[in-house]
A and B are shown apart, each in its own frame.
Chain A
């Protein structure tokens, strides 16, 4: 039964969707604070390459190394995000352009590739990849086994984060303030909320999550360093936030949909089903465009819950 193609598609949807979800959840926090971050791809790659470095160089037990790698991946992502925050929040540059420069600077042809070369991390496979777990020996259980119990620690972490972020955004006072900052910074400021602080924190948090997403690529999916390993996942994550109406739960579902799309080519090929591989490879990108068209035109447009001040720098002494 676990060989059923539907089960495999669902299981790989979760497997390949997890890093996209991390990045998208990060972007969601950032956008909820009113900052648009188009540098996700760059942050993922910086996280990914740093995590590989950590995995190669940190001594200790496998568990310890993996934990450190994830933390270092997150840290690297958050450093790049701090740069974005400085440009957008303090210098009030155009957020679109700032995010683009981050991706060009840190992306597949830039700093992440440079570090990979300087650190010489690309030559061998990762020593301590993040392994797929088998909690309670349940991964052979029918249907739920592969989907739920044949995943890495990061997938379980992502589920916890999804629940926590729902509570945070919609049930806590800090979440209320965060949403106020993204909707109307003037109002938030008048109510004594430190707009700059909220935006910095959530932009940096977003970068950390993107870094973890990148780490998942370099330590789980591949697991080896390849320049530009995320192959546009950062951009798909940005589109997913729109697709998920800025809600963590819907974004999680969207991420799994895209994860399934990404793996479809491999699955069908392994089943000897004749299908144009290039077309399948292009599917996630085509679907992103289709999804964007669907949510930007017509009925969905009116229901979109984009934070009202998304992308608008906040300046108090406006005159």
Chain B
């Protein structure tokens, strides 16, 4: 096998990679996306322009974008905190479902309380439910070293079945007894709606502010505390962690639960800011949890960057909803997100290797 290019290990990581790689990835994804669009007979420029227009270009559109961005920010943070310890939690989806169940429960149960108490209860229940769902994965991993990728994914499917069960297949606490024909969840009282904050013409959902604060806390936790230091040691070298007496098992359970709690908080924000009901189908179609993986990858696991990436992807999917139709088929947004993830993953190669032109093209170096 001879190739004109070769990969050479980088000894140091220049600073420009931190922003250069995500930008290059994004550019690459847009180009690949254009290829897909052209192949299916669409004009990529006009599709991209319309995404820009409907996702970002007006204050209205941007306000709606922030609503979509909020759960992405949380699931992105959820994926980041786990990935940073080398735990591949891809159960953000299911953990977020549990968060919506918990938040809807609190919203129904505390309906006669003042709004701040309801919101607090929704946040806490969302986090508890999501955290519990992820803790299952953490415990299995810590106790039996069961592969967390597959277990967390299986729990996504189980959570989806649970959601369907609560709304469609049982007379549960969450189901509206007055709904006939197509069953729905109990609608929350208006007192359980989360605040809308206005910053000039832009409406910022309360959940988005919580996400920003959460990102700051996560950053501090991971960069300035003993906890974060221990997590980074475990991530980089499990045997060094054992050598230093760091209790890896507990950390696995803690970090998984934390990750799940953040995803659950995302579910709570979705109920509080947007749906105001346990919407079993809607939340499954949204695919927030899977998108969180894209957010984390493109943000290179940095919690602050995750917020910006979430806004970007929120705009993309908001535009997707707004434009959906024969001209703008469903699945397009998912495809573009997938492409972004690809290029972000492939872009990581630039941080580890330099691509060099082969010096002796005639001879070639075995790849």
Using a CB–CB cutoff of 8 Å, the interface residues on chain A facing chain B are: 38, 83, 87, 90-94, 96-98, 100-101, 104-107, 109-118, 194, 196-197, 227, 231-232, 235, 238-239, 242, 277-278, 281-282, 285-286, 288-289, 292-293, 296-298, 301, 316-317, 319
Contacts and interface: CB of A to CB of B under 8 A. Distances in A.
Interface stretch (B60-68, B146-154, B191-199, B232-240): B146-154
Contacts of B145: 296-297, 301
Given A278-B165, A285-B158, 16 more contacts: A87-B342, A91-B7, A93-B349, A96-B149, A104-B334, A110-B334, A110-B337, A113-B331, A117-B326, A227-B331, A235-B153, A239-B150, A285-B154, A289-B150, A289-B151, A297-B143
B46 to A, nearest CB: 16
Nearest to A194: B1
26 contacts: A92-B349, A93-B345, A94-B345, A97-B345, A100-B149, A100-B293, A105-B341, A105-B342, A107-B290, A110-B334, A110-B337, A111-B331, A112-B331, A114-B332, A196-B367, A197-B1, A227-B330, A231-B157, A235-B150, A238-B150, A282-B157, A282-B161, A289-B150, A293-B144, A296-B146, A298-B144
A111 B338 contact: yes
Contact of B334 (A90, A93, A113): A113
B154 A288 contact: yes
B349 A107 contact: no
Interface in B5-40: 7, 9, 36, 40
Contacts of A316: 366-367
Nearest to B365: A317
A88 to B, nearest CB: 10
A104 B294 contact: yes
Contacts of B294: 104
Contact of B157 (A87, A91, A110, A232): A232
B329 A114 contact: yes
A242 B149 CA distance: 13
B90 interface: yes
A59 to B, nearest CB: 22
Contacts of A115: 40, 331
Given A292-B147, A293-B146, A100 B334 contact: no
Chain A contact residues, majority secondary structure: helix
Contacts of A98: 345
A194 B157 CA distance: 40
A316 B367 CA distance: 7
A89 B30 CA distance: 24
A242 to B, nearest CB: 8
Interface in B343-363: 345-346, 348-349, 353
A75 B366 CA distance: 29
B346 A110 contact: no
Contacts of A38: 149
Contacts of B334: 104-105, 107, 109-111, 113-114
A281 B161 contact: yes
Given A97-B345, A297-B145, A110 B151 contact: no
Contacts of B157: 231-232, 282, 285
B58 interface: no
B158 A93 contact: no
Nearest to A239: B150
Contacts of B330: 113-114, 117, 227
Given A114-B332, A194-B1, A231-B157, A106 B146 contact: no
A294 B338 CA distance: 33
A110 B338 contact: yes
Contacts of A107: 290, 334, 338
Interface in B277-308: 287, 290, 293-294, 297
The 6 closest A-B pairs by CB, nearest first: A105-B338, A113-B331, A117-B329, A114-B331, A297-B144, A110-B334
A99 B293 CA distance: 12
Interface string B151-184: 1011101100110110001100000000000000
Nearest to A96: B88
B338 A104 contact: yes
B140 interface: yes
A282 B88 contact: no
Contacts of B170: 278
Contacts of A106: 338
A110 to B, nearest CB: 4
A289 B91 CA distance: 13
B59 interface: no
Contacts of A87: 342, 345-346
Given A227-B331, A235-B154, A282-B158, A105 B339 contact: yes
Interface string B300-332: 000000000000000000000000001001111
A1 to B, nearest CB: 34
B335 interface: yes
Nearest to B41: A118
A232 B160 CA distance: 12
A147 to B, nearest CB: 28
A104 B337 contact: yes
A26 to B, nearest CB: 17
Nearest to B83: A97
Contacts of A296: 144-147
A118 B161 contact: no
Nearest to A200: B1
Contacts of A298: 144
B351 to A, nearest CB: 11
B230 to A, nearest CB: 23
Contacts of B9: 319
A101 B153 contact: no
Contacts of B41: 118
Contact of A101 (B165, B345, B353): B345
A86 to B, nearest CB: 9
B287 A293 contact: no
A31 B80 CA distance: 27
A117 B324 CA distance: 11
B290 A104 contact: yes
